[in-house]
């Protein structure tokens, strides 16, 4: 199963709100999800995105690939750097 970390749109017409979810890539973008990782309100900007750090790192370590927009959000929160650092530490231990 190919897991992607991506945005799922919720909210009203002309008032978007997004959940950041881990989902099987074979399902529709707004379809079945595995787990919710956070949420994003575009009216407040990318700086105010809320992401559960432990869940995001768990899914990244299990091989989930983030979409371009989610990758930008993870980078702004410093989670991509934290994940890369944990991979380096893991390789040195082995």
Instruction: Give the confidence band of 62 by pLDDT, cuts at 50, 70, 90.
Output: very high
- Which CATH superfamily groups domain 3-93? Ribosomal protein S16 (3.30.1320.10)
pTM: 0.86
Q: How far is CA 74 from the centre of its chain?
A: 7
Which of 30, 38, 31, 41 is CA-nearest to residue 58? 38
Range in 49-53, 76-80, 90-94 the model is least confident about: 90-94
Give the DSSP H/E element, type plus range, for residue 2: none
Q: Where are the domains of the chain?
A: 3-93
What is the widest separation between alpha-carbon atoms in the chain?
A: 51
Q: What is the mean pLDDT of residues 55-69?
A: 94
Residue 92 pLDDT: 61
């Amino acid at each position: 199963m190919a897991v992607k970390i991506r945005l799922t749109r919720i909210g009203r017409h002309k008032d978007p709100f997004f959940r950041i979810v881990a989902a099987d890539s074979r399902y529709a973008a707004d379809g079945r999800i595995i787990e919710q990782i956070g949420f994003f309100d575009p009216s407040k900007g990318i700086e105010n995105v809320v992401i559960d750090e432990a869940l995001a790192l768990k899914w990244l370590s299990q091989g989930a690939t983030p979409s371009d927009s989610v990758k930008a959000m993870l980078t702004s929160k410093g989670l991509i750097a934290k994940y890369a650092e944990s991979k380096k530490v893991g390789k040195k231990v082995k």
